[in-house]
Amino acid sequence: MIRRLLASLMLLAALAPLPARAVQPDEMLPDPALEARAREIGKELRCLVCRNQSVDDSDAPLAHDLRVLVRERLVAGDSNDQVVAYIRSRYGDYVLLKPPFQFDTWVLWSAPALILLAGLWSVGRYLRHQARMAGAPPLSADEAERLARILDEKPGP
Amino acid sequence: MRRWLYLLPVAVFVLMAGVFYAGLGIDTDVLPSPLIDEAAPQFDLPPLPGSRNGLATADFKGAVSLVNVFASWCVPCRAEHAVLNALAATKKVPIYGINYKDKGEAANAWIAALGDPYTRIGADDGRVGIEWGVYGVPETFLVDRSGHIRYKHVGPLTQADIDKTILPLVARLQQ
């Protein structure tokens, strides 16, 4: 039973979709360290033809050209940051899949924190209100007697 | 609870509606280019096979230039070509072509069939296109006398684009 379960799990794992990278074998660098750096860069660059794919994921000709360009510059000795800066100087911030924190993006990046703060503020306000209600003064003797009388009253016919 | 807090959701709604309404007019296919007001990229492209001069950065010096990135495989370029021919006939601004990721013979046949509005054409395998931040042909740039990019148009130019945007800008840059 367990063996059969394991076998079917392994079969499922084999069928699971592998991350479909578009990087072609003839684009890859012989040096695995440089190729790994190229992958790291390619993951972060947006393909401007398909917009929501990275350069590594896209089959568009422009994405191919950019992958080749990234590798050429790495071979020429550029750092990762230099390669990204060059492509950003041509295509703008939009080419970065992760927008940088700067003047026109601070609202984007700080929105989650601001919304959290607003939430904390309203929860705090609510709790303080509750506490004030809970701390209401006890009934006076007079009030307690009146309450007992009301509770003792027989329901009407 | 203070009164004004009841107005807060309404205020938030009005604000968001305003932002969304403004966003309706934005064409998300057109990306802002970081190259505007920058010097045109340095490049030197070979000509089309059996053809005239290629195209290099130095060609832009001294006069306002229109740089058009095109390809024979690009369908919108075909629609745009008549507009470029008409613009070339006015002789108001030289049109330089960057033939992008194209086969030389195909480009020559295309020019022969549709007419040639270009003063010079450079054949690009894609690398110079990246220098110009090209992501979808056709793209058109206006370069001023000092060789700085002043305007970028993505997609096919229409006669209205020429009349309302390109020619007024050319006239201003030529002053």
Shared-domain flag, residues A77 and A110: no
Shared-domain flag, residues A21 and A87: yes
Q: What is the bridge-based pairing of β-strands B65-70 and B95-100? A: parallel
Q: List Cβ neighbours of A94 (8 Å cut-off, separation of 6 or more).
A: A46, A48, B31, B32
Dihedral over alpha carbons B13, B17, B19, B24 (to 10 degrees): 160
Look at A33-47, B1-15, B133-147 and tell me which has the smallest mean pLDDT: B1-15
Task: Write out the two tokens for B158.
Answer: 């229409």
Confidence (pLDDT) at B170: 95
The partner residue sitting opposite B130, judged by closest CB among A69, A88, A92, is: A69
Residue range A34-60: average pLDDT?
A: 91
* Reported ipTM exceeds the 0.85 cut: no
Shared-domain flag, residues A43 and A93: yes
A142: in domain:
yes
| pLDDT tens digits, B106-119 | 999 999 999 999 99
Interface of A with B in 51-70 (CB under 8 A): 61-62, 65-66, 69
Tell me whether residues B135 and A88 touch, CB distance under 8 A.
no
For B101, nearest residue in chain A (alpha carbons): A61
Beta carbons of B40 and B148 less than 8 angstroms apart: yes
Residue B45 pLDDT more than 80? yes
Confidence (pLDDT) at B72: 95
Confidence (pLDDT) at A152: 86
Confidence (pLDDT) at A47: 92
The count of structural domains within chain A is 2
Shared-domain flag, residues A89 and A119: no
Shared-domain flag, residues A92 and A24: yes
Does domain B35-174 correspond to CATH entry 3.40.30.10? yes
Question: Does A48 contact B at CB distance below 8 Å?
Answer: yes
Question: Does B9 contact A at CB distance below 8 Å?
Answer: no
Structural domain boundaries, residue A92? 16-100
Residues of chain B with C-beta less than 8 angstroms from the C-beta of A48: 31, 135-136
Q: What is the bridge-based pairing of β-strands B55-56 and B44-45? A: antiparallel
Q: How far is A48 from chain B (nearest CA, A)?
A: 6
Tell me whether residues A94 and B136 touch, CB distance under 8 A.
no
Residue A41 pLDDT more than 60? yes
User: Which secondary structure element, helix H or strand E, spans residue B69, and what is its range?
Assistant: strand B65-70
Q: How far is A87 from chain B (nearest CA, A)?
A: 8
Look at A3-12, A59-68, B134-143, B149-158 and tell me which has the smallest mean pLDDT: A3-12
Tell me whether residues B130 and A92 touch, CB distance under 8 A.
no
Assign A13 a pLDDT band (cuts: 50, 70, 90).
confident
CB pairs under 8 A between A and B: 38
What does R_g of chain A's alpha carbons equal in angstroms? 32
Tell me whether residues A92 and B33 touch, CB distance under 8 A.
yes
Give the span between the Cα atoms of A39 and B163, in whole angstroms: 45
pTM for this entry: 0.78
Beta carbons of B109 and B72 less than 8 angstroms apart: yes
Confidence (pLDDT) at B80: 95
Tell me whether residues A65 and B126 touch, CB distance under 8 A.
yes
| pLDDT tens digits, A74-120 | 999 999 999 999 999 999 999 999 988 998 899 999 999 999 999 99
Peptide bond into A112 cis (omega under 30): no
Tell me whether residues B32 and A91 touch, CB distance under 8 A.
no
Shared-domain flag, residues A92 and A109: no
Residue A72 pLDDT more than 60? yes
Shared-domain flag, residues A91 and A138: no
**Residue B50, by phi and psi: left (phi above 0), alpha (psi -120 to 50) or beta?**
left
A157: in domain:
no
Considering only residues A141 and B29, tell me which one the structure prediction assigns the higher pLDDT: A141
Shared-domain flag, residues A49 and A110: no
Q: How far is A132 from chain B (nearest CA, A)?
A: 14
Residues of chain A with C-beta less than 8 angstroms from the C-beta of B33: 92
